[in-house]
Homo-oligomer: A and B are copies of this chain.
């Protein structure tokens, strides 16, 4: 074993000789941005290391400047450690998800919560038990039951209890001198504690995304959100998208168990951090709600997702599930804590979308509403006359910065907004400083502005410098540069970039964006056709997803990611999945609604629609 120290965290871990730095980072619980999943394709995982590693590889030479190499930069995915090392992990490449994903509009959630009855299925009851004697030889369990009935607690006939709780009872009640608090869930006693703990009743909702996992800790008595933590899904090390996770399950021995363990460990970390922040005991968490896409849902449960990916795309189960924490190996919650898992709709419309729809009022069906979740898969839900339709489009990861030459996530150093006119070009950089790349919202802005100025034509071609309209300034014209792969547009000069290389938008980048937006737009068109309405009939477009919150509506409309509707009809709903999960946490009624939603949705399989290809090709142009 050798020892690695990660800076600036000063985190020490021990690993076997020859472990890759990427694996070591995972083991140390440090999440970094690895869009290619550690395959040496993206060159984003630059870390600083001085000794004890393999010589630099050709792949690294491709991605590192000479100065970087001189300074000791390496790619975490390409380096293996052979002796004790000190490794510096630049903060810039870290995934600081908390900033991005925990920013829900509190007002909104409280508003939503208020409109639903706050009622969980939990009750805590303090019992001052009679002590046993030769005249009163009831068992400990009977003593608790008798007291509950004496107190006229409702709905406790046929009271159940798990062996784990029975095991605790004799010790707890004697330590507490027969003054204990029992936690009832429906007609089951799921916990017994010393003394009066009736004030401590918490729940946690999780949104398990392919990239990010967020946990929301809630006080079940008040509905108040106590703390929120977001973390990278550690499975990203095996690849960015669900297909790579499924491949991992199929190819690796115990791959399924490994992926389940990774996700459960992350939930455990989130439980630790949220409870610490809120200053509560994790054993007082009695309810958990889980949402996620169908693949994440399956991986959390340890269900093989292999049949999700190939046609005809079959999940193991869609319907909602109630489990106990003990059903999930290594889960740190109280073994008898309940886990409610929202229903899926199909292989590619998961419980996260159900939760998203639940968090809005669209399921009431009073308006014609289009719900679009922007991510690697663009999920689209349409409601009209109380009926629901949904489809999933393979938008690809372009919006998340992958497959774009200078693409990156919305993190420090990313261009997230672009503004152009005939004379000037301006951009905003997250946290200012040197530019590292462009994120999804910046890319949408950029393409929209280039379209507006006629620099990109309807077919998506970046025109030649000579074809530019006369009103365009030289400053703008000069940014169009021709090289052997076609035209490219200069975004940032080398002086202003972090790695000292200029940043361009290439013709290929535009094509990637076209593929992504065409997929979503074609999906929307198919749903409209299925329902028999036209885009103008849509009264509201709801844009969901962490990324959705940050894009410019006008730009999104210009590039035809969404139909051309008055901007007033377009709304952001943020992390709708997380909000929906939280709502389900404290409202049993809303769990029922989520089940109704999942049953009412008509899922449209785009791959079996002969008209999809046609719509897709149409939607490619601007």
Please list the residues of chain A having a beta carbon within 8 angstroms of any beta carbon in chain B: 132-142, 161-163, 166-167, 169-171, 174, 301-304, 306-307, 311-319, 321, 323, 327-328, 344, 346-347, 603, 605, 607-608
Contact = CB atoms under 8 A, between A and B. Distances in A.
A178 to B, nearest CB: 11
A468 to B, nearest CB: 47
Nearest to A315: B139
Nearest to A256: B167
Given A141-B318, A166-B316, A134 B311 contact: yes
Contacts of A311: 134
A605 B347 CA distance: 62
A174 B310 CA distance: 14
A455 to B, nearest CB: 41
Residue with the highest number of chain B CB atoms closer than 10 Å, among A135, A140, A315, A317: A317
A433 to B, nearest CB: 47
Given A138-B318, A163-B303, A170-B306, 19 more contacts: A132-B312, A136-B312, A137-B312, A139-B316, A139-B318, A140-B307, A140-B315, A140-B316, A141-B316, A141-B317, A141-B318, A142-B318, A142-B319, A163-B301, A163-B323, A163-B327, A166-B301, A167-B301, A171-B304
How many copies of this protein are present in the complex?
2
Nearest to A301: B163
A255 to B, nearest CB: 14
A307 B135 CA distance: 16
Nearest to A131: B312
A344 B142 CA distance: 12
Contacts of A135: 608
A346 B316 contact: no
A134 to B, nearest CB: 4
Contacts of A304: 167, 170-171
A347 B137 CA distance: 9
A99 B134 CA distance: 41
Contacts of A327: 162-163
B608 A134 contact: yes
A100 to B, nearest CB: 32
Contacts of A318: 138-139, 141-142
B323 A169 contact: no
Nearest to A311: B134
B317 A605 contact: no
Contacts of A142: 317-319
B167 A303 contact: yes
A312 B133 contact: yes
Contact of A166 (B170, B317, B347): B317
Contacts of A163: 301-303, 321, 323, 327-328
A598 to B, nearest CB: 11
Given A162-B327, A163-B323, A302-B163, A170 B316 contact: yes
Residue with the highest number of chain B CB atoms closer than 10 Å, among A140, A328, A608: A140
Contacts of A174: 307
Residue with the highest number of chain B CB atoms closer than 10 Å, among A139, A140, A312: A139
Contacts of A312: 132-134, 136-137
Nearest to A143: B314
B303 A605 contact: no
A192 to B, nearest CB: 12
A137 B315 CA distance: 8
Contacts of A136: 312
A167 B302 contact: yes
A346 B142 CA distance: 11
A441 B303 CA distance: 59
B134 A607 contact: yes
A325 to B, nearest CB: 12
A493 to B, nearest CB: 51
25 contacts: A134-B311, A134-B312, A134-B607, A136-B312, A137-B312, A137-B346, A138-B314, A139-B314, A139-B316, A140-B307, A140-B314, A140-B315, A141-B318, A142-B319, A163-B301, A163-B303, A163-B323, A163-B327, A166-B301, A166-B317, A167-B302, A170-B306, A170-B307, A170-B316, A174-B307
A40 B157 CA distance: 52
